[in-house]
Amino acid sequence: MFYNIKKHERELIMEKSKYNINYDNEICFEKISSLIQNNIITEEELKDVKNVTEYIEFSEMVRKRIIINYAENGVVFYSFDGIIISPFTTIEKGTIILPGTIIYNYAKIGSNCVIGPDSYIESSIIGNGCTIIKSVIHNSTLKENVTIGPFSQVRPGSIIDSNVKIGDFVEIKNSTIGQGTHASHLTYIGDSDVGSNVNFGCGTVISNYNGYKKFRSKIGDNAFIGCNTNLISPVNIGEGAYTAAGSTITHDVPENSLGIAREKQTNKVGWAKEFKKKNS
């Protein structure tokens, strides 16, 4: 902005960009007034902030100060790039925070986790040994040794038990997930209670909303949900039950049973050849 500008012109720009500190303004997601009350910044420091440029520089200094404080208490950072952490977050020793990660709103993160790169966590509790890669966690609880991501989202009201794997492009909303369950890719789990050691095949969707109301489904322990299954809530999938790939399940499946809901395949011999000839 100041390239090739004469000194007096530069001073005039700085004068016009004077910055009046508003104590409701936020740095690292927290109000300046709260940062002062908790001795993270001082009134004296603010007196040196006279324009927008200095405010941005001051905010960056505070961001690094907060990160260094976590580092001095045993949190590991390989780089500070793009990391924004509220000073009111709790992070235990041995956890690694990778670039591009944002954590705030009184989140609590256990020990020996790997968070990031490019992860976003707010108002959530993350247990020991969790890994969250390029994913978003809102107002939820993850217990120990949970793996999330990349490119997944855990929406508010979800509780994910220990040793669960949530892979790429999976969304969980207002659901409980039992120990050892896997949803490895391309799955939506909404308004559901899922047992332990359940396997979700690729492309599974729990259809919880009919345009007017949301409905809840239940999936028992050790169930196997085949690829491209649609579960039309409310349905119950019993313990140890299977759904056949490509099924749209609208009724309960008893325990240790197979639910199949798809058309019988029909082959029209020679159809493709005639189709191409007709349209060539």
Give the β-pairing of 165-173 and 182-190: parallel
- Cα of first residue to Cα of last residue in the chain, in angstroms, is 60
Which listed residue (8, 138, 185, 251) is catalytic? 185
Q: Which residues of 65-80 are buried (b: 16+ CB within 10 A; e: fewer)?
A: ebbeebeeeebebeee
From residue 199, how far is each of 76, 109, 161, 225 by CA, in Å?
33, 27, 14, 6
Nearest in space to 149 (alpha carbons), one of 163, 164, 169, 129? 169
**Angstrom distance (rounded) from CA 77 to CA 93:** 12
Active site residue 185: yes
Cis peptide before 234 (omega within 30 of 0): yes
Residue with tokens 């939506």: 188
Distance (Å, rounded) from C-alpha 79 to C-alpha 100?
9
Question: Is there a contact between 143 and 160 (Cβ–Cβ < 8 Å)?
Answer: yes
Neighbours of 202 (CB within 10 A): 17
* Whether residue 87 has a cis bond before it, omega within 30° of 0: no
Give the list of residues 6+ apart from residue 128 with CB closer than 8 angstroms, or none. 92, 110, 111, 112, 113, 144, 145
Active site residue ranges: 185
